[in-house]
A and B are shown apart, each in its own frame.
Chain A
Amino acid sequence: MSALTTAVSRQRYSHPLMAFVLRRLAIGVLLVFLVSILVFGATQVLPGDAASAILGRSATEAQKEIYRQELGLDRSIPSQYWSWISGVVQGDLGKSLASGEPVTSFISQRIGNSLILALVTMIVLVPISLALGVWAGIRRDRTADHLISSLSLGLIALPEFVIGTLLIASLAVSLGLLPPTSIIEFGQSPLTSPSLLVLPVLTLCLTAAAYIIRMMRAGVVETLNADYVHMARMNGVRERRVIWNHALRNSLAPTVQVLALTMQYLIGGLVIVETVFAYPGLGQGLVQAVTARDIPTVQGVAILLAAIYIFINIIADLLVVLLVPKLRTSL
């Protein structure tokens, strides 16, 4: 991995933390670059003729040929990749095959909706599931723990679209409490009609909470078993302090990792949940683009989501280093 990273690490930065950040960022850029090859390869190199898929079976061979030229599908693969990636670097993701609009405007129309959905989900999800996970860990093998653990074991195995569908069937259709779909006009903020957000948020929370709860419980159980926790109790430290200063303080780094994984999960979860509720976000747009084989749109959205995914990792790594004295001091 290296010319780029070693070049960065060889330079002597006065601040070791700065050097670490730069090194991680360089690796991140490299990863995004490698991922771009993957994105390009999967969409454009795999067998499957985009032209006939888009134009339909009735199109003549001549029509398809013109279309392929338009798309640049007749050029060599490296040159296709080169023209695509050089556009990406300059912020030009190409034009949508379906609408003819630039992919960037497709993204900017929808990304706000997705971000709002993700943000509201995190705000509801994180405090509740962290608390439940920690509680189950502290009350290990008691009734509360058994209840929380078995519920989360069941929930974690349920697909989002099953949870979403069952929620629609019960809360929206049978009881009529909430709207069954979350259709919003572009340009309108989803926050103006919060009732539309309830079911998507609930669906995402139920699946992601199970994951956070199980990971947190395992982490807390482990730290509560650590020698230093026993030692603190034998030193007569107050139980509240034992839990906060010893057990939870040392669970912080794993928590950050769990939260990063949760955010990464949400990227995939949004794709499905937005589709289930017809919520006009990036995920739903991506699925539509895939169905229509709108290659430039799929590529643009994919590289953006992958970059976000990698960026979350970098932030989490950095936080972990800052939170764990042993890692921090060995920089």
Chain B
Amino acid sequence: MTEPVLRVDGLRVGVEHGPVIVEEAAFTVRPGEVLGLVGESGSGKTTVAQALLGYTKPGLAIVSGSVNVAGQDIVGTDEKRLRGMRGRLISYVPQDPATSLNPSLRIGDQVREMLKAHDQDACPDERVQEILERVQLPGDSSFQRRFPHQLSGGQQQRLAIAVAVACEPPVIVLDEPTTGLDVVTQARILEEIARLQREISIALVYVSHDLAVVASIASRIAVMYAGRIVEDGPCEPVVTGPRHPYTLGLISSVPDHVVPRRLVGIPGVAVGVGNRPRGCAFAPRCSQAVPACEESIPDLVRIEEGHLVRCIRWQRTPVPQVDPRQEITRQLAAAPLLTVSELRAEYRTRSGPVVAAEGVSLTVAPGECVALVGESGSGKTTIARCIVCLHQPTAGQITLEGKDLPGLARRRSQDERRSIQIVFQNPYDSLNPRRSVEDAVSWPARSLRGLSEREANAEVAALLERVRLPERMARRFPGELSGGERQRVAIARALAAGPSLLVCDEVTSALDVSVQAAVLDLLADLRRKLDLAVLFITHDLGVVASIADRVLVLEKGLVCEQGTVGAILTAPQSDYTKRLVAAAPSLSIDGDGPRPVEAFGDPR
């Protein structure tokens, strides 16, 4: 076996004169190997990724430890020599190419700058062309003269990769390189990375929050939680038989369109950097924790060749169970709750109107969950906004229980407004920061159901309980809540109106996967208990698989396919849906071959 080209040991990064962010990071990567570094927000994965280049964000510093690339020490080297190593020995592909590429440098010069920084002064156009073509970008001189903003998101990310491979470093760090991209583009970029890696046999460190994506590319996975690596091992055993309870929780949270299942989620909230406990940081959320877990931080122990776990009770961690998704049984409704027919919506821009949705028709039955799926720009959000009066449709009709719904909120009756409630994507702006949770949750009952302030406040505790939040939250302000908690409060606020239809616009896409799972589970629960219909807008087929009864697939404002969730995901008909389904990442590695439709249950 070849010698590791990247060795990291005892790496510790912290805020200057402040708390430690990353502790005891240690791993090795061999040439040709892909290490997937997985963690949720705040786990310290990006801090580790940048520290591998001896770099930290302003205000942070590498406190101790060593990073060694191809026999040369990165940590402890003076700035001048370090500069020569970055890009030549180890390079970095950033998360957001749109902001990481200098907007004033031409494409060719972006590549050339990397070459020049490493004394390759002879960089004729042909050399640059060769580098660009290596990542399937056109390399001709007219392309080289373009600016980054003239490229698509996928092309920008290819360019960032081209810059990273320009000096042919033995190690490349990729930090969430596909996070902002659509699934189809993501799949192509992943293919590209895998191909490059095969061709030039480099060592890759692939950092991501998305376990399914990492599992598709990595040969080894290291899972981070609260600044520490909690599990490190070969891809297959980690995904199928995780030994750390956090890894297990993560795997049980990942939505999967191949094998749809009930998502479990992890209870509680990850601890912040300043408040990490003395013992295992995961213990407060762990179902198998014992008092000993809270006394000291467990060591990373080797349980098999190349498989390390930081848990004193790893032997008790159960094998992941695939619970089938819970079907919601109910009476077949005679009439639909909501119908949208031949909806057309436009946006006015400087250069004339842009059609966001065209000829869209859909129905939602009482208690049913219908998903609107599409990539960004498909018009799915616009349709949702038309239904709740935030956008005026140009043509078409919307009816609620057979009655025509006006497009303007003030022309709808109080009861009509009460019946349809919306929850938005961004948890950080869905609540008024100046209003307490109690104020926010009680208000709709006052304005839409005519309750007095006292009557409305009296309902708050029950509403919070319904979204699984403790009563004491009522006195808090949004600034004191986590993203998941805010989203629950937003749901409680919608429920306060007593709706029969809940419109959920990408409500979980800004959340960490373990929190997303819990919110999705909550929504399923609410549907069951309140006979609530849900119109669920999302780009994530895995989420669709775990929650929806029926699906409409949107492409550029048109409905290109619709049907039951089982039919769409197992036997897509349109080319677009086929591409979408094929590109969606999944943890079920051996998921090829036809999948049983029964897995989705029979919605009708």
Contact = CB atoms under 8 A, between A and B. Distances in A.
Q: Direct contact between A and B in the complex (CB less than 8 angstroms)?
A: yes
Interface of A: 225-228, 230-239, 241, 245-246, 249-250, 324-326, 329
A325 B109 CA distance: 14
B117 interface: yes
B102 A245 contact: yes
Given A228-B99, A235-B117, A236-B114, 12 more contacts: A227-B99, A230-B55, A231-B92, A231-B94, A232-B102, A234-B91, A234-B92, A235-B113, A236-B118, A245-B102, A246-B102, A249-B104
A234 B53 contact: yes
A246 B84 CA distance: 18
Nearest to A235: B87
B574 interface: no
A225 B59 CA distance: 12
Interface in B55-104: 55, 57-58, 83-88, 91-92, 94, 96, 99-104
Contacts of B105: 245, 249
Nearest to B58: A225
Contacts of B117: 235-238, 241
A329 B83 contact: no
Contact of A325 (B55, B84, B104, B118): B104
A326 to B, nearest CB: 5
Contact of B113 (A226, A230, A232): A232
Contacts of B102: 228, 232, 245-246, 249-250
Nearest to A224: B58
Given A231-B100, A238-B117, A250-B102, A329 B94 contact: no
A28 B191 CA distance: 53
B50 A234 contact: yes
A246 B94 CA distance: 17
B230 interface: no
Contacts of A239: 83
B143 interface: no
A329 B150 contact: yes
A326 B86 contact: no
A319 to B, nearest CB: 14
A89 B50 CA distance: 64
A239 B149 CA distance: 25
Contact of B100 (A227, A237, A241, A326): A227
Given A238-B83, A329-B147, A329-B150, A233 B55 contact: yes
B147 A236 contact: no
Given A235-B86, A236-B88, A237-B113, A227 B103 contact: no
Contacts of A245: 102, 105, 113
7 contacts: A226-B99, A230-B55, A234-B91, A235-B117, A236-B83, A238-B117, A239-B83
Given A236-B88, A236-B118, A326 B55 contact: no
A233 B99 CA distance: 14
B5 interface: no
Interface in B468-519: none
Interface string B225-246: 0000000000000000000000
A233 B163 CA distance: 13
Contacts of B104: 249-250, 324-325
B147 A326 contact: yes
A235 B103 contact: no
Pick the most buried of A232, A233, A236, A326: most chain B CB atoms within 10 A of its CB: A236
A237 B92 CA distance: 13
Contacts of A227: 94, 96, 99-100
A228 B103 contact: yes
B168 to A, nearest CB: 14
Nearest to B87: A236
A45 B50 CA distance: 67
Contacts of A235: 86-87, 91-92, 113-114, 117, 163
